[in-house]
Amino acid sequence: MLDQSPVCQGSTGADALRRSVDLARFVDALGCTRYWVAEHHGTPMLAGASPEILIGAIAGATSRIRVGSGGIMLPHYSPLKVAEVFSVLSALHPNRIDLGVGRAAGTDPLTAFALQRDRRQAGPDDFPQQLAELLAYLDDAWPRDHRFARLAALPGRPERPTPWLLGSSPDSGRWAAEVGLPYAFADFINPTGAPIAREYRDACTRETARDVPQVIAAVSAICAETDEEAERLASSARMLFTLFLQGQLIQVPPVETAMRFLEEHAGEAGALGRRRRMVVGSPDTVKRGLEAVAADYGADEIMVVSITYDHDARRRSYELIAKAFGLGGDGRV
C-alpha cells in the first residue's frame, strides 16, 4: 500500500501520522508486501512531509513488511544525504527498506522554493544527474579517482536499500530503463500509463543488464462490503480531489459533507472521474478492477492508495482487499 497520511477534518496532522503507524501494523499482519509513505509539503490535506522519519517509525513498529518511500522527491535534497539516510535505515532494518525516488516537487512552486537552501534562483532541473549521483553512492560505483569516491563508504554498509524510480510520465519510464531500476507508476495520478510501462519493459530489456524488469502500478481503491457502501465512503476522496484540481486544499471531509457536495457539483465530480481512476466497490468488484489494471500494465505488483474519512473504514478496506486476493494473517497466500 501507499500511504499519503491523510488529515481528516476535525483531527490533526499528528493524528494522521499515528494512524499511519497503526495502519502499517495492521497490513503487516494481513501479509501485504510493501508499505510506502509519500512526501507532500505545505498542505492541510496530507501530513507526510518527512517520509524518512515515518519509515523509521513504521519499520520499528512492524516485523515483516517492506517499508519505503513513495517517494523521496529528490530535487529537494542532496543525493549524498539521501543515500546516507537510507543506508542507516537499511542497517537498522536489513532487507526491508525501499528507496523510491521521484522528480515531482510534491507541492506548489512557492513551497518548493521555500524548501531550497539557496534561494538566489530557482533550483536546476537536473534530475537525471541527481539520480546518477545517488546510485553511484548506493552502488559504490564512483571511479576510484573521482573526488566523491570516498563518500560511497555509507554508514549502514553492507546493508543497502532497494532503489525504485517513481513516475507518472514517459520521461520517468525512460530514465528507469536507462539505469536499470524497477519502476512504480502512479496510475492514481495518470490512468493512461500502460503504454509507458510497456515502453519501460521493452527499453529495459534492450538497454540494461536487468533480466526481469519490475513494474508496480499504484492505484486508488476503496473497498467495503457492498458496492453502495464503498461508493459512499469514496465520496470523501472524490470531494477532496475535485477541489484539489481547482486549487483548493482542504482536510478530508466527512462522508455526509462530501455527498452533499457531490450532489451539488455533479459536473465537476464527473470531470474528475474522467481524469483520475478510482477502483471502488465490494471485494469482488475491487478484485476484478485491480486485476484489470494489473493486466493492462503487465504489473508485477499492485500498490493500493486509499483515502477515507474514517480510519476504521480504511483499515477495513485494506482487510477486504487482502482477503479478496487470498492473503491471510500469517503472511502466506
User: What residues does each domain of the chain span?
Assistant: 2-324
Q: What are the pLDDT tens digits along the chain (333 aa)?
A: 999 999 999 999 999 999 999 999 999 999 999 999 999 999 999 999 999 999 999 999 999 999 999 999 999 999 999 999 999 999 999 999 999 999 987 788 888 888 888 888 888 889 999 999 999 999 999 999 999 999 999 999 999 999 999 999 999 999 999 999 999 999 999 999 999 999 999 998 766 655 569 999 999 999 999 999 999 999 999 999 999 988 899 999 999 999 999 999 888 777 766 677 999 999 999 999 999 999 999 999 999 999 999 999 999 999 999 999 999 654 433
Task: Please indicate, yes or no, whether the overall pTM of this predicted structure exceeds 0.95.
Answer: no
pLDDT at 208 (0 to 100): 61
pLDDT at 81 (0 to 100): 97
The percent of the chain in helix, strand and coil, each rounded to the nearest 5, is 50, 15, 35
pLDDT at 333 (0 to 100): 32
Taking the CA atoms of residue 3, residue 136, residue 113 and residue 123 in that order, the dihedral angle to the nearest 10 degrees is: -150
Which architecture characterizes domain 2-324 according to CATH?
Alpha-Beta Barrel (3.20)
Angle between helices 255-264 and 227-244 (to 10 degrees): 70
Using CB atoms within 10 Å of the CB of residue 212, give its burial: 0 to 12 exposed, 13 to 18 middle, 19+ buried. Answer: exposed
**Longest Cα pair distance anywhere in the chain, in angstroms?**
65
What's the rounded Cα separation, in Å, for the pair 187 and 280?
15
pLDDT at 274 (0 to 100): 66
Q: Which helix (H) or strand (E) holds 133?
A: helix 127-139
Closest CA to 8 of 257, 232, 253, 259: 253
DSSP letters along 159-188, please?
Answer: ---EEEEEESSHHHHHHHHHHT--EEEETT
In sequence order, what E strands does 103-226 have? Answer: 162-167, 183-186, 215-223
Q: Which residues fall within 8 angstroms of residue 262, CB to CB, at 6 or more apart?
A: 235, 238, 239, 242, 269
> What are the angstrom distances between the C-alpha of 46 and each of 22, 110, 261, 322?
16, 17, 21, 24
Q: Which residues fall within 8 angstroms of residue 301, CB to CB, at 6 or more apart?
A: 33, 34, 214, 215, 216, 217
